[in-house]
Amino acid sequence: MFPAVSAGSATIEVIEPATERVLEQLPELGAEDVDAAVAKAKAAFPAWRAVAPAERAALLHRLADAVAERNGELATLEARNAGKPIGNARGEIGMVAECFRYYAGGVERLTGKTIPVAGGVDMTFREPMGVIGMITPWNFPLVIAAWKLAPALAAANTVVLKPAMLTPLTAIEFEKLALEAGLPEGVLNVVPGSGSVCGQRLVEHPDVAKIAFTGSTEVGRGIAEAAAATIKRVTLELGGKSANVVFADADVEKAARAAPYAVFDNSGQDCCARSRIMVEKPAVDEFLAALRDEVEGMKVGDPLDESTVMGPLISAGHREEVASFVPDDAPVAIRGSAPEGPGFWFPPTVLSPVSNDDRAAREEIFGPVAAVIPFEGEAEAVALANDTIYGLSGSVWTRDGAKALRMARAIDTGVLSINSNSSVRVSTPFGGFKQSGIGRELGPDAMEHYTEVKNVYYATEE
């Protein structure tokens, strides 16, 4: 099913986190494989940009249909490789198809402007950039790739995608599906290789016009530095440490019952995780009681079991990192269940009370560990919510609409929900303030991030 491993060549083992078994062996790729993929993408670009817009849109719709038809198969592969509950995986693959449909609809709506000037006509064109390099993380493997692929291809670019080597399998399948759906050879090239070799080469390659990256702030910083050498465009979707602010005048029970899913979804391996649960002091006891009931009832286990709500962590190494946030003297207030091994299990854990200065409140844990931080009043809520290097998502829970909007305006974050934990929709912009990133994905403007503006002046005077 996957690229053949030739005898004697080095291999990479892809592990199933729920069982610790080897799911697939892949050949280890090198910088020369990236160079070959970039050359293919570069060669395919002139013909792809010449495809009539309606035809390009039709191809992307066909690809969306193919993904939708294969949802069950792709979701099972994603669930096994990333260790995520099968229901969530189906939702993610559903969003992949939805994303391609949305940007297929944008192909014929990507327009320039005409601008009044003296002596002629001035017009702008949105030109494709050429070859786009994409580097994606392991937590939402195919769907995060789709957020980049769909607008980039819709805007007539060609692509080299380097998925995370912990979870490359759905991207490899997707490349085949795209060819079957009729995408011309070379338009989409998947290079399942390591970040330090293949990712690095993609960022340095002189024929790559832009890097669209999702991953950690640390690696993102390195990518921005390396991209500077060739003045590459970059968009970066990075880490987060988002606040879930619950006022005492909210429906506290509802907020508490929703809170676990805002941080323990995907085993907490979610850039949008609202891992700082800030609760107004008079509501803390009521909140913790409902939170305990909800967390202790969470079913943690086999990702392929339909009733599972939380699977394992991605790797043994990552579990060790997560565990370092729960030392023996940590204020563990709530601990859910987790199966015995094999599998990289970690129970959903709530620390309370936590100060915003504690390590568990400052660093992205990227695991099922939440910190409850008590606060007093609106001003302190804003100060604490903004006291972080990140600014990706967040929620505010209150029945006071004006207060909700004051908070929404005051919190430095790219995405905020009121009385909800919703973060991501195909049709609305997503991305971060501060060290959570540069640029926005999804929504009506994402295609523009995969274009250059060209200004043309046509003199009309005799």
Applying CB under 6 A, does 455 fall inside the site for ligand NAP? Answer: no
Using CB under 6 A as the binding rule, the residues of this chain from 266 to 325 that contact ligand NAP are: 271
Applying CB under 6 A, does 344 fall inside the site for ligand NAP? Answer: no
Applying CB under 6 A, does 26 fall inside the site for ligand NAP? Answer: no
The string over 24-45, giving b where at least 16 C-beta atoms fall within 10 Å of a residue's C-beta and e elsewhere, is: bebbbbeeebbbebbbbbbebb
Measured distance CA(308)–CA(398) in Å, rounded: 30
Applying CB under 6 A, does 426 fall inside the site for ligand NAP? Answer: no
Q: Which stretch binds ligand NAP (CB under 6 A): 96-104, 108-116, 209-217, 256-264?
A: 209-217
Residue 79: CB minimum distance to ligand NAP, A: 17
Applying CB under 6 A, does 136 fall inside the site for ligand NAP? Answer: yes
How wide is the angle at C-alpha 440 spanned by C-alphas 439 and 441, nearest 5°? Answer: 135
9 HSE (CA, 13 A, CB side): 14
Conformational region of residue 80, where left means phi above 0, alpha means psi within -120 to 50, and beta covers everything else: alpha
Question: Is 78 annotated as catalytic?
Answer: no
Applying CB under 6 A, does 137 fall inside the site for ligand NAP? Answer: yes
| C-beta separation of 72 from 86 below 8 A | no
Question: Is 271 annotated as catalytic?
Answer: yes
Measured distance CA(106)–CA(345) in Å, rounded: 42
Determine which one of 16, 24, 173, 237 is catalytic. 237
Applying CB under 6 A, does 364 fall inside the site for ligand NAP? Answer: yes
Using CB under 6 A as the binding rule, the residues of this chain from 179 to 208 that contact ligand NAP are: 194-196, 199-200, 203
Residue 154: CB minimum distance to ligand NAP, A: 19
Q: Minimal CA–CA distance to 382: which of 416, 350, 351, 352?
A: 416
Measured distance CA(98)–CA(201) in Å, rounded: 31
Applying CB under 6 A, does 396 fall inside the site for ligand NAP? Answer: no
Which member of 66, 142, 165, 245 binds ligand NAP (CB under 6 A)?
A: 165
Using CB under 6 A as the binding rule, the residues of this chain from 59 to 78 that contact ligand NAP are: none
Determine which one of 98, 271, 294, 441 is catalytic. 271
Which residues have a Cβ under 8 Å from the Cβ of 185 and sit 6 or more positions away?
A: 40, 44, 179
| Residues linked to residue 455 through DSSP beta bridges, in sequence order | 124
- What are the catalytic residues? 237, 271
Interface residue list for ligand NAP (CB under 6 A): 135-140, 144, 162, 164-165, 194-196, 199-200, 203, 214-216, 219, 222-223, 237-240, 271, 364, 366, 392, 432, 437
